[in-house]
Amino acid sequence: METGDRNNHQLVQELLTAFNSFKHKLEDPNYIQMENSIKQIIDGQKDMREDISDLKRQLLNPYDGVIVETRRNTEHRENAEAQAIINANLIEEHKTIMRWKSSVTRIGIAILSSAGAVIAFIISEFIKK
């Protein structure tokens, strides 16, 4: 039926029926529960968006973000490894110097002992005569 074929009473009846149907749907517990569920989903998405923004801010902060901390940690580890190599070389040089010192000390003691023995021999020969 077109609008021109219906009279005012029929139009008002159709509108009243549609309004009652709409009112009944709004008061339906399933519809209310569904509307509450949709509101919860929207609120959850807002919270999730805020959490993601916070995480992004923490990750990408150029001063103390996680990525910057990871780079600093990597740099520190690489520096520590380089320093460990330098320290190993220094320890090896120290050991070499200590071996040389030990050898020089032994040779010095041997020379002094020999010199002492020679002096003792000369003095004993001088005293015997």
Report domain extents, the chain.
Answer: 31-60, 67-129
Query: Cα–Cα distance between 19 and 52 in angstroms, integer?
Result: 43
Output the pLDDT for position 118: 94
pLDDT higher than threshold 50 for residue 1: no
First-to-last alpha carbon distance for the chain, in angstroms, is: 159
The one-character DSSP state at 6 is: S
> How does the average pLDDT of the chain come out, rounded?
86
Q: Which of 32 and 45 is assigned the larger pLDDT?
A: 45
Output the pLDDT for position 4: 56
Q: Are 13 and 20 in contact (CB under 8 A)?
A: no
**Which residues, 6 or more positions from 67, have their beta carbon under 8 angstroms from its beta carbon?**
59, 60
Per-residue confidence at 3, pLDDT binned at 50, 70, 90? low
Which helix or strand (DSSP H or E) is residue 36 part of?
Answer: helix 29-60
pLDDT in tens, 98-122: 999 999 999 999 999 999 999 999 9
pLDDT higher than threshold 70 for residue 5: no
pLDDT higher than threshold 60 for residue 2: no
pTM above 0.75, yes or no: no
Output the pLDDT for position 108: 95
Q: Which of 9 and 76 is assigned the larger pLDDT?
A: 76
